[in-house]
Structure 1
């Protein structure tokens, strides 16, 4: 009887421990799951970064955790630290993948995955917080090989074209 009670109590935990597959609408993002390291260049200078993509809540969401440390500069003698947290979801009514990004600087960007093709994923903002009206942002992920992808972050002032801000080359961290 004790064995039966033990089994019944722990069956729910066994089910939750399984690695859930991403839903079909996220299958295009399966490549990115895991931990990554980068070399970064951009307006803030050179830096190194780490990033993780993880499935959450039975694969219903994908979380991103990004941290980049830039080399010391005149403005930041200790070096600038950029942190952002992201949540990717699927809007079933629009049939679109949505990426919400929360930055340490206080900016919040809501991107929609659009204009993508095989191996290239383009997220463009549809809403921004704490930025003057009319500003836009775009993130592009380009798969290079099975363990490397490039990322570009671009900004556009109102009425202007996008210009490069930060570029990363991400390498998969081996387990």
Structure 2
């Protein structure tokens, strides 16, 4: 009987240790390199590469987005957008936090909204944006649409206005 209790205790301990060390378990489907196309962002088409990599002994997920937009009448040279960020786990708040730095100078600090997210759909909502209109907010959603496919959407809200989708990306995992 003591052996059974010890075995159950060890299994319980092991499961809790793994759970404590895996705050990103719900994000693992994102890990890897992605490529695809985007639309929106000023009615322009883009080619995008995205990377989600576990870094620093699994303490963070590094996110790199690189979008090249086709030329338009207002931007005949096209446009090149880069943003980089880190997803972390804030132990004190028991929240996943995503800090995203844009080439244009914006810094978004998002939190993952558990109540709106599921195994195949993630909702990140800003709690702060640097260098943007005071009172504005952003939302970033990621939907797993297939085993190796995701769709991301970026929403923006100006003060006292409803959020609007400013861009959508269709991404396929690179082999």
Normalising to structure 1: TM-score of the pair?
A: 0.85
In 1, Cα distance between equivalents of 2:85 and 2:47:
19
In 2, Cα distance between equivalents of 1:150 and 1:31:
13
Where 1:117 maps in the other structure, the secondary structure is coil
Deviation at 1:108, TM superposition (A): 0.3
Mapped pair 1:53 → 2:52: yes
In 2, Cα distance between equivalents of 1:118 and 1:28:
6
Question: What is residue 100 of structure 1 aligned with on the other side?
Answer: 99
The Cα RMSD (Å) is: 1.2
2:22 to 17, 21, 24: 24
In 2, Cα distance between equivalents of 1:42 and 1:26:
29
Where 2:97 maps in the other structure, the secondary structure is strand
State how 1:61-140 maps to structure 2 within 5 Å: 61-114=60-113, 115-140=116-141
Deviation at 1:118, TM superposition (A): 2.6
Q: Render the CA deviation track for 1:51-72: whole Å, top value 9, x for unaligned.
A: 1011111000010111000100
Inter-CA distance 143–79: structure 2 relative to 1 (3 Å threshold): same
Q: Which runs of 5+ in 1 are unaligned?
A: 1-21
Deviation at 1:78, TM superposition (A): 1.2
In 2, Cα distance between equivalents of 1:88 and 1:147:
21
In 2, Cα distance between equivalents of 1:155 and 1:112:
15
In 1, Cα distance between equivalents of 2:65 and 2:21:
23
Q: Which runs of 4+ in 1 moved over 4 A?
A: none
Deviation at 1:159, TM superposition (A): 1.1
